[in-house]
Amino acid sequence: DHALQKELIFLHLPGKKPLGIPLISPSSSCLLCGCQLQLRKDRHAPIVIYDAKYGTIPGAHFHKFCPKRTCSFTQYYGYYSTQNQIIFNSDWSSLPFFISSRDTAFSLDILKQLDANIMIGQISFKQQAEIYNYMHGYCRRDTKAISRYVRMLFSGIFTGK
């Protein structure tokens, strides 16, 4: 819920950076036994979120657990684990982010963009990464030289030269 999200965004741990965007599963009950899941506010995993609009964003991945001692169910954002198996929830694609590894998440918008650029535009993943870095100011290339080239190109197009 919104109040919990706000509380977790502003949660600071002594001597550490702010948590960033909290990723918490919307699931509220255990899929194995039906018990009400409990959120672990005191434990989170730092995560890097890649977003098409905002670039790279820090985040915090929280999990929920089943309080029943005989149940080994743990719910994460978009997936769950039980008996050392990780299983994606059937509704993972309805969430705004996809967690691809323990410390990495992608917005679904950037995944759709990546899919279109690779499948339709036939650009490589490396080219997509360079575009992402350029668009968000993480580029190692000389952006002034690129900008000069783009201005020259467009000035020739629009002036008819």
Mean pLDDT by 10 residues, the chain (161 residues): 57 60 90 92 86 84 91 92 89 91 89 81 78 70 52 50 48
Distance, CA of 132 to chain centre: 14
pLDDT of residue 160: 47
The pLDDT value recorded for residue 73 is: 92
Q: What is the pLDDT of residue 21?
A: 83
Q: ∠ CA(51), CA(75), CA(12), 5° rounding?
A: 60
State the Cα–Cα distance between residues 45 and 63, nearest whole angstrom.
9
The answer to whether 96 and 51 are in contact (CB under 8 A) is no
Q: Is 82 helix (H, G, I), strand (E, B) or coil?
A: strand
Alpha helices by DSSP H, the chain: 2-9, 108-119, 125-135, 143-159
Q: Is 139 exposed, middle or buried (0-12, 13-18, 19+ CB in 10 A)?
A: middle
Predicted confidence at residue 13, as pLDDT, reads 52
How deeply is 105 buried, as exposed, middle or buried, from its count of CB atoms within 10 A (0-12, 13-18, 19+)? buried
Tokens of 2: 């919104």
pTM of the model: 0.69
Tokens of 141: 């290339």
